[in-house]
Amino acid sequence: MLSSMEMESMRPQIIHGRDDELARDAPKPAQNDEAPAELIQMFQNMGPDHDLVKKYQPQYLGFGSDHIVYDIPKHPNIVAKVDVQTFKPNIDWNIAHGEAPDALSPNLVAQMKEGLKGESARYQLMTESFGAKYVLPFRAYVIKVPVSQEFLEHLYKNLQHNQPNPASPPNIMEVPAIVRIQKRSQGLADPNHITFTDRFGEFNLDACVASTEHLVFSVNAEQKLPKETFLNSQEKKIQELLDRAEDSENFKRCLREFVELAVRYTKATGEILDIGGKNNVVFFQRDGTWTFELVDALYWPENTLETARDLIARIDGDSQLSRHEIIQINNFLDYTRTINGLAEMLDIEGRVHIEPDGMGEPPTKLRDVIEAFQRRA
């Protein structure tokens, strides 16, 4: 277990270049999601002779939309999270500025570190809103990491889905990237943990629309939404959470606290949590008492309430919404519908509000936007 001094040392920080400072203790995600072979072999096959591989012997643990997660055997209290979303932007930046695709120039480092300063400040606000015991500390590093051509091709294909004339990746062996060293999650190490997720299931469209009208746009606000309608608009994990809350006062207290803190965080920061990904938020028991961890719940910085209101105001407008904008709108709707729905089911007073000021009724094309999201390729 980390000492208080070690915990303090893992407050969000930004470090450049010195991989020897990766030697800090932190957590182990227990999940091992199915992944393309090139993801799993990214370091191992990438060059056993690479300095990082030889020194730390990283072992693949799992991956999500943003990170590949590795165990560092000599440092069992931490995990290394390679931010794959930084690969292509950094390569593109280098090419646009006349640098080699794999260069880690001072100008690129400065740009990356500037972005990390904003992330660090936002992460600190999350920690202050929820409390340090619920948020896993990390350090961020700007370094080169080994990468395979197979992985870059996989990444470029996914990032350029449905784009005309997609670019091909350069033939390189390393890429400048952000690596986050994070305290190992106690929750993910518990085989009985429960993940919190609000989407990516098969939903009932009518229930989604009805729940959104009530929970986001306050239609029939004086009445309580039928529980069945709410659950039919949600991923099955939400029903599991509510069922457990009915059976356990201990768990109900924990779930109520999470929802109350989520509402407070969104009101205080103007941002939503990333509760859509598997294991971004997990519930588990510590010494017989239910608690939770925010493992990877910080969302992209553009996902603010101001953005949400601007996009929602455009649903009935003349301009056509892009595919990306439809996804963004539904991310906001999903989050608000889930948090407000749980608040209503658990008799919590606070609510998240993303509706534009002065909008008295839901957009007339709301159903079309939700349906377009559910049918997206």
Question: Would you list the domain boundaries of the chain?
Answer: 4-184, 190-374
Residue 29 DSSP class = -
Output helix, strand, coil percentages for the chain, rounded to the nearest 5.
45, 15, 40
Query: Do the bridges between strand 59-63 and strand 67-71 make them parallel or antiparallel, or are there none, so unpaired?
Result: antiparallel
Using one digit for the tens of pLDDT, what is the confidence trace for 178-220?
999 899 999 999 999 999 875 655 678 999 999 999 999 999 9
pLDDT at 18 over 60: no
- Looking at the DSSP bridge assignments, the partners of residue 294 are 135, 281
Angle between helices 249-269 and 323-345 (to 10 degrees): 130
Amino acid identity, position 341: G
Between 27 and 184, name the one with better pLDDT. 184
Percentage of the chain modeled with pLDDT above 70 = 83
- Looking at the DSSP bridge assignments, the partners of residue 194 are 283
**Is 372 exposed, middle or buried (CB count within 10 Å of its CB: 0-12, 13-18, 19+)?**
middle
Instruction: Indicate the pTM of the whole model.
Output: 0.83
74-78, 80-84, 288-292, 301-305, range with the lowest pLDDT = 301-305
pLDDT at 310 over 80: yes
| Strongest mean pLDDT among 183-197, 265-279, 291-305, 341-355 | 341-355
At 8 the pLDDT is 38
pLDDT band at 49 (very low <50, low <70, confident <90, very high): low
Residue 169 DSSP class = P
- Looking at the DSSP bridge assignments, the partners of residue 60 are 70
pLDDT at 25 over 80: no
Amino acid identity, position 301: P
Cα(323)–Cα(305) distance, integer angstroms: 19
Using one digit for the tens of pLDDT, what is the confidence trace for 152-169?
888 888 777 667 778 889
Residue found by looking up tokens 């965080």 in the block: 265
Residue found by looking up tokens 């309608």 in the block: 229
The closest of 92, 252, 250 to 172, measured between CA atoms, is 92
Mean of pLDDT over the chain: 84
DSSP H or E run through 55: helix 51-56
Cα(190)–Cα(222) distance, integer angstroms: 41
Residues 346-353 have a mean pLDDT of 96
pLDDT at 123 over 90: yes
